[in-house]
Amino acid sequence: MHPNYLTELRALTNGTAADCLLLGPGTTVRVTAPGPYAGVLGRIQKRGRSRFHVRIPQGVLTVPFALVEPCVLMPAAENAWP
């Protein structure tokens, strides 16, 4: 099943909100999808119907909502981000 569906179902059965659905443009996130971009940090550029557009140093990725997690950067690292 699609990761977004599983995340929303889990949130509904637990009676909580899915964290990934509360993120907006400008939020720094870590990609949790398996593959060459696993663990890469980026900023959300825009939110589509089922996925985020995440800007990384190599370009822009489209990532399903459920496959990103919020990432808190230290103040010095926050200033260094383009």
Q: What is the pLDDT along the chain (82 residues), one digit of tens a residue?
A: 767 677 777 777 777 665 656 788 999 999 999 999 999 999 999 988 888 999 999 999 999 988 898 887 655 555 555 5
Closest CA to 25 of 60, 1, 75, 58: 60
Full domain range(s) for residue 7: 3-80
What's the domain count of the chain? 1
3-class secondary-structure state, position 77: helix
- pTM (2 decimals)? 0.70
Helix spans in 1-82 (H): 3-14, 75-80
Give dist(CA 23, CA 63) in Å, integer. 13
CATH number of the CATH domain containing 12: 2.30.30.30
